[in-house]
Amino acid sequence: MKTRTIGKSELVVSELGLGCMSLPTNQEKARSVIDAALDYGITYFDTADLYDAGQNEIVVGQALNKRRHEIILGTKVGNAMNPDGKTWTWNPSKKHIMSSVKESLRRLQTDYIDLYQLHGGTMEDDVEETIDAFETLKKEGLIREYGISSIRPTVIERFTEMSKGVSVMMQYNLLDRKAEQVFPLLQQRNNSVIVRGSIGKGLLTETFAKRLANHAAFPPFTNVQLSELLPKVEAIEPHMQAVALHYLLQSPVVATVLIGSRTVEQLQSSLHAYNQTISEETLQQIEQLIPFHPYQEHLIDFEHYH
């Protein structure tokens, strides 16, 4: 497994990271997936205080605590759980971040977080207060670096301009390439992308036909459009998941591509795809085949960063 460095930090991560949101809540089942990931050379593990109302952090912390020094651990903050335990309220305040970090550390059974990420963001947020919280946590040694998870160019532009953050988590895949519009900005500011949603809800894998039969769509693509498009992709390269992953890793701004795995088998299929060789020519051919849908809202002057 190759590695890359996140932005201007000293955090070195595996090209594939484990997105822990889809892990089972059963400790033993989750441990088997995490152990397999470690065995295959995955060193970046990404969770959030929101996933399973904190249970995901507990499961991850329990499975990783004996190998903590070998890995880079990322979690997220900014969504306060409501008393019902099912819904949440956006809260990027310093007070909330300073108290949430202690809960995350306790659940993760660790005394520091490698990458602490703001789990969303709006232009109405008091971003200076949020950044002040992250900088304070860095000084206290509770976090090593911080970043943001957002798909809004306006929010990303402001956060990366005003902060010393090192990463932006974004949905990015062959069916949704609008993140590429923000890449020149991130390259200029020495921030890395952590990719989520890499296989387009499974539509960019060999199981796409089964998903389409169940009326799957991936807006703005309709089920009918995908039923025409995806077989053409498959005709160029049957290893669709390999195409999906290698396309994303072409960009130097991408530090790691998260794969979600509920089972060891799912993890193995992602690793098998990663280990395939896909030519640049094939990737170009497929890129030209799939329509590009640019950002329609939260717009910035993209040209300014080219």
Instruction: Identify the residue whose tokens are 């160029």.
Output: 236
CA torsion through residues 90, 92, 94, 100, sign: positive
Considering the candidates 51, 116, 172, 274, report the single residue annotated as catalytic.
Answer: 51
Q: Contact at 8 Å (CB) between 119 and 149?
A: yes
Size of the chain in residues: 306
Q: Contact at 8 Å (CB) between 113 and 138?
A: no
* Angle between helix 223-236 and 280-289 (nearest 10): 160
Q: Which two tokens stand for residue 120?
A: 């969303």
Residue 3 burial (CB count, 10 A): 14
CA distance 28 to 24: 9
Whether residue 40 lies in the annotated active site: no
Give the DSSP per-residue string, 28-67: HHHHHHHHHHHHTT--EEE--TTGGGGHHHHHHHHHHGGG
CA distance 117 to 196: 14
Task: Kindly list the catalytic residues.
Answer: 51
